[in-house]
DNA sequence: CTATATTTGCGTAATATTAACGCAAACTAA
DNA sequence: TTAGTTTGCGTTAATATTACGCAAATATAG
């Protein structure tokens, strides 16, 4: 009897977006019955014939219509054997990023509502999804300091002040604008475009672009991205 | 039909040990039939009523008798839906460390043989276990540079030269002995004992001990462990 | 007993990186 | 015109890293 097992395998995605100088997570309102509505992370059971990664992509596609700029596995939640009250379910959580600056999300087939939720205004979610988000934020913060994933949250062409702001708000730290700029520019993977951004006040700012190719070349040469703060 | 699912959930553990200036992984010889023997990572199916973590601990206990000094979740392998030819199985892999310097392993109930295998002499293993090991080594290397897990691979009291050697062999890098010592000592979480180690030649060396308490206090103060190499 | 090889433990100088600022340029709004 | 704001480029001081030198403490060989 030792080997009897009836465990369901699900995937969930924590999708981060950044706009209006704030960090957001993508949430959906789950239809259980017609009562009992809960906000939750997009996700669902893995199908028999699809890989874990395919499952997340499918679920995200069914429930939202965002275009991911980054995705990787985050953590597998299966220590609380009652995390789902109906069956034993373990969930493989994925961590994803998206450029939310100019993106309209709409509910798709599976979910009633899809919504960006500010990171500090997240309600109590279904299952252990609040836990997943915690872990996701942890990963986001860590990764921001040793991989150039900040660019995946911004539009292709962005202002230095936006990049700086992204770092400050997500890491909840102060930073010297001038040193930050110098450091990032010194890496040599940013390109100045000849476009300017419409600004409300102050000197017009050049738009920059992240050159992933150049970054990869640097990586091969042993380069190691790092942004530290005091 | 969309929701039909028959996926088994397994756990596997990659246990690292360090002795004789080399890195080892713990392998077991699986009994399938009486033919068909393969080396594999310790692991097995999760029971209905135990958490993932409990499952790994149990399996390790059943198959080996090592005393872990560190364990955390590594990665969940479920993208290759044929990774096990019999059923669809996803495996949650765990990453563990052990002080192998003074440890005798013996096969326990479940496994025929248990053995330390040198990291560069690993044969083709069952399932995708070679892949898991790759991922494990990656994690070990990364973690060694930003968390003090090296001490979990050494005896409680160790020589500086052993610590240095551990870093050099695992990270496959050269390092200046004197700068390394200075840097680690500057952190202030090592304690000198009044014991000396029996040495074959050269000046007798003091034994040191890692004070986890002091390390945690430092962490609270915002300290960030880091060992970098050129 | 002495010389040699070996490993430890401590130090110092050159170099590189980070942190803390100053300030003019280029715009908007009043 | 003037005041307010944001950008872009510098400089300097403090800190950290790198590259070594060298004596102390042992074992071993002669």
pLDDT surpassing 70 at residue A176: yes
Name every residue whose Cβ is closer than 8 Å to that of residue B30 and which is 6 or more positions away in sequence.
Answer: B37, B38, B39, B40, B111, B112, B126
pLDDT tens-digit series, residues A66-95? 999 999 999 999 999 888 888 899 999 999
Instruction: Specify the higher pLDDT residue, B71 or B84.
Output: B71
3-state secondary structure B159-191: EHHHHHHHHHHHHCCCCCHHHHHHHHHHHCCEE
Mean pLDDT, rounded, for A20-47: 86
- Among residues of chain B, what percentage have pLDDT more than 90? 77
Nucleotide nearest to B204 (CA to C1'): D26
Residue B3: pLDDT band (50, 70, 90) is: low
Q: Which of B191, B187, B186, B184 is nearest to B206 (CA)?
A: B191
User: Lowest mean pLDDT: which of A10-19, A25-34, A106-115, A150-159?
Assistant: A106-115
Give the whole-angstrom CA distance, residue A186 versus residue A168: 19
| Residues 43-72 in A contacting B (C-alpha not used; CB under 8 Å) | 45-53
Positive or negative torsion for Cα B207, B213, B217, B220: positive
Strand D: list protein residues with Cβ under 7 Å: A 159-161, 177-179, 181-182, 199, 201-206; B 176, 178-179, 182-183, 199-204, 226, 228-230
Task: Round the average pLDDT of chain A to a whole number and report it.
Answer: 91
Query: What is residue A32's predicted lDDT score, i.e. its pLDDT?
Result: 60
Mean pLDDT, rounded, for B121-136: 96
Residues in A touching B9 (Cβ below 8 Å): 5, 7, 9, 78, 90
Residues in A touching B50 (Cβ below 8 Å): 81
* Eight-state DSSP code of residue B153: G
Query: What is residue A107's predicted lDDT score, i.e. its pLDDT?
Result: 60
Is A223 within 8 Å of chain B by CB? no
Name every residue whose Cβ is closer than 8 Å to that of residue B13 and which is 6 or more positions away in sequence.
Answer: B26, B41, B42, B43, B56, B59, B60, B71, B93, B94, B95, B96
**Which residue bears the tokens 């560069």?**
B120
Do residue A73 and residue B73 have CB atoms under 8 angstroms apart?
no
Nucleotide nearest to B182 (CA to C1'): C10
Mean pLDDT, rounded, for B176-198: 93
Name every residue whose Cβ is closer than 8 Å to that of residue B142 and which is 6 or more positions away in sequence.
Answer: none
Positive or negative torsion for Cα B104, B108, B111, B112: positive
Residue A102: pLDDT band (50, 70, 90) is: confident
Chain A window 181-220: residues with CB closer than 7 Å to nucleic chain C are 183, 199-204
Burial B92-121 (b: 16+ CB within 10 A, else e): bbbbbbbbbeeeebeeeebbeebebbebee
Number of CB atoms found within 10 A of residue A215's CB: 19
pLDDT surpassing 80 at residue A33: no
Please provide the DSSP assignment of B133-146 as one string: HHHHHHHHHHHHHH
pLDDT tens-digit series, residues B85-116? 888 999 999 999 999 987 877 765 555 689 99
Give the whole-angstrom CA distance, residue A226 versus residue B59: 39
Helix pair angle (B160-171, B177-187), 10° resolution:
110
Residue A197: pLDDT band (50, 70, 90) is: confident
Query: What is residue A120's predicted lDDT score, i.e. its pLDDT?
Result: 96
pLDDT surpassing 70 at residue B1: no
Helices (H) and strands (E) in chain A, counts: 5, 10
Structure tokens at A133: 């988000």
pLDDT tens-digit series, residues B13-67? 999 999 999 999 999 987 666 567 789 999 999 999 999 999 999 999 988 889 9
Element (H, E) at B95: strand B88-98
**Which residue bears the tokens 């010592």?**
B181
Give the whole-angstrom CA distance, residue A168 versus residue A164: 6
Highest mean pLDDT of the ranges A25-39, A105-119, A147-161:
A147-161
Task: Round the average pLDDT of chain B to a whole number and report it.
Answer: 92
Question: In Å, how far from its chain's centre is CA B213?
Answer: 22
Structure tokens at A22: 């704030």
Mean pLDDT, rounded, for A140-164: 97
Pairing of strands B7-19, B88-98: parallel
The spacing between the Cα labelled CA in B53 and the C1' in C18, in angstroms, equals 42
pLDDT surpassing 60 at residue A2: no
Task: Catalogue all structural domains in chain B, each as residue range(s) with its CATH number.
Answer: 7-146 (3.90.79.10), 154-220 (1.10.10.10)
pLDDT surpassing 80 at residue B230: no
Helices (H) and strands (E) in chain B, counts: 5, 10
Q: Which of A165, A143, A157, A140 is nearest to A22 (CA)?
A: A165
pLDDT surpassing 60 at residue A20: yes
């Amino acid at each position: 009897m030792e080997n009897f097992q009836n465990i369901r395998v699900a995937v969930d995605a924590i999708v981060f977006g950044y706009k209006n100088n704030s960090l957001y997570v993508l949430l959906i309102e789950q239809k259980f019955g017609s009562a009992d509505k809960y906000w939750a992370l997009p996700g669902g059971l893995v199908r028999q014939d699809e890989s874990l990664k395919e499952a997340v992509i499918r679920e995200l596609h069914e429930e939202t219509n965002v275009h991911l700029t980054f995705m990787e596995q985050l953590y597998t939640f299966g220590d609380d054997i009652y995390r789902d009250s109906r069956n034993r379910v373990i969930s493989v959580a994925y961590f994803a990023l998206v450029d939310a600056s100019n993106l309209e999300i709409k509910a798709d087939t599976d979910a009633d509502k899809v919504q960006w939720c500010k990171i500090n205004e997240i309600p109590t979610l279904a299952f252990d999804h609040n836990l997943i988000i915690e872990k996701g934020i942890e990963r986001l913060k860590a990764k921001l300091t040793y991989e150039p994933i900040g660019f995946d949250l911004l539009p292709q062409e962005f202002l230095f002040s936006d990049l700086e702001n992204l770092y400050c708000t997500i890491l909840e730290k102060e930073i010297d604008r001038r040193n930050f700029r110098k450091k990032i520019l010194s890496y040599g993977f940013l390109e100045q475009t000849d476009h300017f951004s419409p600004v409300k006040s102050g000197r017009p700012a050049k738009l920059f672009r992240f050159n992933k190719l150049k970054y990869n070349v640097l990586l091969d040469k042993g380069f190691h991205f790092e942004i530290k703060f005091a």
